[in-house]
């Protein structure tokens, strides 16, 4: 659905995005993860033809962008860097303006607007102008705008910004719903938890470069260690004695043991009279993967230290 090769964007001397090879497949819920200022928004803008790449190519729905924008964009719904609307007009009127600017027929307009509003939970919205909306309502309206055309591909930049926990759950359910119905979704975010709960595939961007791109399950694969719990620190100590050098860490009754065969460990421990309450294979966390990939010095995922996106 989305494929980029060596996509690069420079603003003056600053490279906002360098040599990016993105690969989003049909049916994915793809999480595009990176700290503020890492080039997420610039990438999304390039995919939508808003920003022209300095070099490299981007294909969306199998067609080159921005050259084929006229054919591609009617099948794409997008929310880029927060919603935007005409503040003095009502939400409904805003959607119908956006719809009129696109390709949709005039006769189906009211229906499309109603559907989109209903999908995001704004169907009961009144004639209030948008400038009187709460942040969460604006965010929902922005999503409704993206859904107007019943797109094959949804590109959403920070879609849960400003939403309360319930709103975040609603949006997550909506995205998974749409995905189940065949819509490919690209969600960019700086929030690990959000990506982890929604996405099946993840790309991590750091300082304009894609450092990780894989299925979430593969990224969170087993580490080859077992997390083992016994009862009380005394047993813990004895367990460490039994398992010997395979034990890598111990904290009271909890042990981290290298080895692929938990059954053998349990057998050995129980044979030695050490009760085992719990054994689970250790998995990598997305956070760990991201920190490993982005390396030292860029582990701060909340601050905008590069200021690129701020300028963009």
Q: Which is nearer to another protein, 50 or 268 (CB)?
A: 50
Residues numbered 96 to 155 that lie near another protein (CB under 8 A) are 97-98, 100-103, 145
Give me the least distance between CB of 95 and another protein, in Å please: 11
Give strand ranges (E) for the chain.
2-11, 14-20, 23-24, 29-33, 55-60, 63-65, 76-79, 153-157, 184-189, 201-206, 209-215, 222-230, 247-251, 254-258, 276-283
Q: Which is nearer to another protein, 45 or 190 (CB)?
A: 45
> And the tokens for 283?
């998995």
Residues numbered 169 to 188 that lie near another protein (CB under 8 A) are none
Q: Is 81 in the site for another protein (CB under 8 A)?
A: yes
Q: Which is nearer to another protein, 10 or 250 (CB)?
A: 10
Options 56, 74, 200, 262; binder of another protein; rule CB under 8 A: 74
Give me the least distance between CB of 312 and another protein, in Å please: 5
Give me the least distance between CB of 197 and another protein, in Å please: 27
Options 40, 45, 201, 225; binder of another protein; rule CB under 8 A: 45
> And the tokens for 8?
């690069």
Is residue 10 packed enough to be buried (19+ CB in 10 Å), middle (13-18) or exposed (0-12)?
Answer: middle
Buried-state track 77-92, b at ≥16 Cβ within 10 A, e below 16: bbbbbebebeeebbbb
Please state, in angstroms and as integers, the Cα–Cα distance from residue 229 to each residue in 98, 210, 234, 239, following that order.
58, 38, 12, 10
Options 48, 60, 243, 257; binder of another protein; rule CB under 8 A: 48
Give me the least distance between CB of 163 and another protein, in Å please: 18
CB 52 within 8 A of CB 211: no
Options 2, 24, 78, 143; binder of another protein; rule CB under 8 A: 78
10: β partners: 15
Please state, in angstroms and as integers, the Cα–Cα distance from residue 146 to each residue in 49, 247, 266, 276, following that order.
16, 52, 53, 52
Q: Give the number of residues in contact with another protein, rule: CB under 8 A.
A: 32
Query: Which residues form the interface with another protein (CB under 8 A)?
Result: 11, 42, 45, 48-52, 69-70, 73-74, 76, 78, 80-89, 97-98, 100-103, 145, 312
């Amino acid at each position: 659905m989305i494929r980029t090769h060596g996509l690069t964007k420079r603003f003056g001397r600053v490279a906002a995005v360098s040599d990016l090879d993105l690969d989003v497949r049909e049916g994915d819920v793809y999480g595009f993860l990176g700290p503020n200022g890492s080039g997420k928004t610039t990438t999304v803008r390039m995919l939508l033809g808003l920003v022209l790449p300095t070099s490299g190519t981007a294909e969306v729905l199998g067609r080159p962008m921005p050259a084929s924008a006229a054919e591609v964009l009617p099948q794409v719904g997008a929310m880029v860097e927060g919603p935007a609307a005409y503040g003095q007009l009502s939400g409904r009127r805003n959607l119908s303006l956006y719809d009129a600017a696109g390709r949709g027929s005039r006769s189906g307009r009211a229906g499309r607007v109603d559907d989109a509003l209903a999908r995001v939970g704004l169907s009961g919205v009144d004639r209030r102008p948008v400038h009187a909306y709460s942040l969460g309502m604006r965010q929902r309206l922005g999503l409704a705008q993206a859904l107007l055309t019943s797109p094959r591909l949804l590109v959403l930049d920070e879609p849960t910004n400003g939403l309360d926990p319930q709103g975040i759950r609603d949006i997550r359910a909506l995205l998974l719903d749409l995905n189940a119905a065949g819509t490919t979704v690209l969600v960019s975010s700086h929030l690990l938890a959000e990506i982890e709960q929604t996405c099946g595939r993840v790309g991590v961007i750091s300082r304009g470069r894609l450092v990780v791109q894989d299925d979430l399950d593969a990224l969170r694969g087993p580490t080859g260690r077992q997390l083992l719990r016994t009862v009380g620190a005394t047993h813990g100590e004895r367990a460490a004695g039994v398992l010997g050098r395979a034990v890598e860490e111990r904290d009271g009754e909890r042990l981290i043991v290298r080895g692929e065969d938990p059954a053998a460990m349990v057998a050995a421990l129980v044979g030695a009279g050490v009760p085992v309450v719990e054994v689970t294979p250790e998995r990598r966390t997305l956070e760990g993967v991201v920190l490993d990939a982005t390396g030292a010095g860029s582990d701060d995922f909340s601050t905008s230290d590069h200021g690129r996106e701020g300028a963009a």
